[in-house]
Amino acid sequence: MLQHFGLPEGVKDVIARRLTRLGGDALEWLRVAAVIGRDFDATLLENVVSLGEDEFLNALDEAIAAGLVVESPARPGRYSFSHALIRETLYEGMSAPRRARTHRRVGEALEADRRQDRYLTALALHFTRAASTQDADKAIQYATRAGEQATSMLAHEEAAEHYARALEVLERFAPDEDAQRLELLIRLGEATVRAGERPHAFETLREAAALAIRLGDTASLARSAIGASRRYIQAPGVVDHELIALLERALELTTGDRTVTRVALLSRLCGALYYSDMRERMTDLAAEATTLADELDDPQAKALAAAARRRAYWHPSQLEQRLSDATELLTRGREAGDLELTPQGHAWLVVDLLEQGNPDAVDAQIDAFCDGADLLRQPLFLWQAAVWRAMRALLAGELERADVLAAQALEAGSKGEAVTAPQYYAIQLLALRREQGRIIELEAPARE
C-alpha cells in the first residue's frame, strides 16, 4: 500500500500520477471523500456524490483496490485514506469553487440528519469553508454553536478555532456587523485564554474592548477586561499598564453598579496592581469588592471578593487573614460551581499552609489542585500542577525526580507563561542544585 512507500521527494506527483489511472467515477468519488475528511462514512459520501448505486460501489472497489482507501475493521461502512497525503493531493487538486461547492453539499447532507448536535463540528467546518453571501449567516451560526459545544466539553483550542472561523466569515461577508463581531471577538479571546495562548488572547480582547468603547457597550467592555486580565498568577515584577487602564475604564463606566461583574473587575484590578507603585490601592478595592459581595449575597461574588482580599493582604503578618480568605475563596467557589475559582482557592492554600508549616495539609491541597487542573484541561492550571509536583518532590528529598518534574513544568508553562515559567524553574533549579552539591553549575548561566 501507499503508506509503505514513505515520503520521498515528489510524493504528491507520484500520487497524482496514480490518480490519473482511475476512472472518472472513482476520481469524483475520491474528491468528495477528500472534502469530507481523512476519515469518512460511506453513507454520507453516497448522499453527496452524484453516482448511482452500482457506480458508487464500483468506485469504492476501485479506490480500495488501488490502495488509496481502507475500511475500518472496527466500524463497517467507515473508511479512511491510507495516507494523509493522498487526501491532501486530491483536495488541493480541486479548484477553489469546486471545493466550496462540495463543502456545501456535504454540509447540506449533514443538515438533513435530525441529530445535528452530533455533527456540529463538521457542519461548522463545511459551511464556513463553503461560505458565500447567501449562506454566511448559516456558517456563522454553526461555527458559533460548535464553539459553544466545544467550550462545554472543555475543548478550548477547538472552541477557539470555531470562533475564529465564524469571525473570518463575518469579516468577509458582513464587515459592518459590529455587535456580532464584538461578541465573537470576546468569545474567541476567552477561549484562547483557556487554551493557554494568553498573549494572542490579549490582542483579541484589546480589539474587543476598543470596539465595545466605540459602541458604548459597557457590559462587553467589562467582559473584555476580565477576560484579558490574569486570573490568579501574576508575572513576577511585571506591571501591565495597558491592562490596568482597561480595567480602570471598565470600573469607571460601571460606577454604581451592584453586580458580580463589578466585583470581578475589582478583584482582577487587585491582581494587576500587585507589582505596581499603586499597590496601596488594593486594600480599598478589596474592601469595595467585599461590601458589594456581601450585599449581593452571591457565592461567586464572595469568592471573587475573597480572591481580592487574598492579594491585598499578602504579607507575613497577615497569615491567618490569608488562610481565612483562601478558605472562603475555595468554599464559595465550590458553592458557585465555578471550576476555575475552586482550584485558585487550593493554590492559595498551598502557599499559606506551606508558610504555616503544615505539610500534610499542603499535600492534600496539591492533590486537590491537580485533580481540578486535570478536569479543566487548561494549560495555566496544568503548568501550576506540574510546578507543585516538582516542589513536593524537592521538599521530600526526591532530588532526581524533582529535577525531571521541574523540567516538565518548564516545558508545560513555556508557551502560555513565557515570563513566569522560566522564573519558577530557575528558583526550583537553584534549590535542586544546592541540595545536589552542584551549585557551581549555575555560575556560568547566572553570569550570562
The label of the residue with cell 479571546 reads: 189
Is residue 306 domain-resident? Answer: no
Q: Is residue 176 assigned to a domain? A: no
Question: Is residue 392 domain-resident?
Answer: yes
Q: How confident is the model at residue 83 (pLDDT cuts 50, 70, 90)?
A: confident
Sequence-distant contacts of 333-340: CB under 8 A, at least 24 apart: 333/299, 333/300, 333/303, 335/299, 335/303, 336/298, 336/299, 336/300, 336/303, 338/300, 338/303, 339/372, 339/375, 339/376, 340/231, 340/376, 340/378
Residue where a domain stops, chosen among 94, 117, 137: 94
Q: 303 or 19: whose pLDDT is higher? A: 303
Which among 251, 204, 194 is positioned nearest to 224, based on CA atoms? 204
Tell me, yes or no, whether 311 lies in a domain: no
Nearest to 136 by CA among 90, 184, 204, 201: 184
Per-residue pLDDT, 10: 67
SS3 78: strand
Mean pLDDT across the stretch 125-142? Answer: 93
E-strand stretches of 292-355:
none
User: How do beta strands 39-41 and 78-81 pair?
Assistant: antiparallel
Q: Is residue 26 part of a domain?
A: yes
Q: What is the mean predicted confidence (pLDDT) over 192-215?
A: 95
Q: Which residue has the higher pLDDT, 21 or 132?
A: 132
Q: At what angle do helices 319-336 and 341-356 cross, to 10 degrees?
A: 160
| CB neighbourhood size of 280 (10 A) | 10
pLDDT at site 117: 76
Instruction: Give the pLDDT confidence score for residue 93 in this predicted structure.
Output: 87
Digit-coded pLDDT (tens) for 238-281: 999 999 999 999 999 999 999 999 999 999 999 999 999 999 99
Percent of the chain with pLDDT over 90: 82
Of all residues in the chain, what percent carry a pLDDT higher than 70?
A: 97
Note the pLDDT tens digit of each residue in 90-108.
998 899 999 999 999 999 9
Residue that wins the pLDDT comparison between 28 and 445: 28
Burial of 345 (0-12, 13-18, 19+ CB in 10 A): buried
Q: Which three cell numbers stand for residue 208?
A: 474587543
Structural domain boundaries enclosing 420: 378-447
80 is a domain residue = yes
Q: What is the pLDDT of residues 351-381, one digit of tens each?
A: 999 999 999 999 999 999 999 999 999 999 9
* Confidence tier at 199 by pLDDT (50, 70, 90): confident
How far is residue 218's CA from residue 265's CA, in Å, rounded to a whole number?
12
Q: What mean pLDDT is predicted for residues 2-31?
A: 71
Domain assignment present for 134: no
Query: 94, 124, 146: which is the final residue of a domain?
Result: 94
Cα separation, 127 vs 400, whole angstroms: 52
CATH number, domain at 34? 1.10.10.10
pLDDT at res. 23: 86
Residue 47 in any domain: the answer is: yes
Contact 226, 190 (CB under 8 A): no
Q: Which pLDDT band holds residue 11 (cuts at 50, 70, 90)?
A: low
pLDDT at residue 9 tops 50: no
Residue 444 pLDDT > 90: no
> Which pLDDT tens digit goes with each residue over 316-343?
999 999 999 999 999 999 999 999 999 9
Stretch 118-141: mean pLDDT, rounded?
Answer: 93
Domain end residue (candidates: 72, 94, 116): 94
pLDDT tens-place string over residues 134-155: 889 999 999 999 999 999 999 9
Q: What is the mean pLDDT of residues 193-212?
A: 94
Q: Residue 3: what pLDDT? A: 39
Number of compact structural domains in the chain: 2
Which pLDDT does position 7 carry in this prediction?
39
**Which band of pLDDT confidence, cut at 50, 70 and 90, is reported for residue 305?**
very high
Q: Are strands 78-81 and 69-71 parallel, antiparallel or unpaired?
A: antiparallel
Count other Cβ atoms within 10 Å, centred on residue 14: 15
pLDDT band at 231 (very low <50, low <70, confident <90, very high): confident
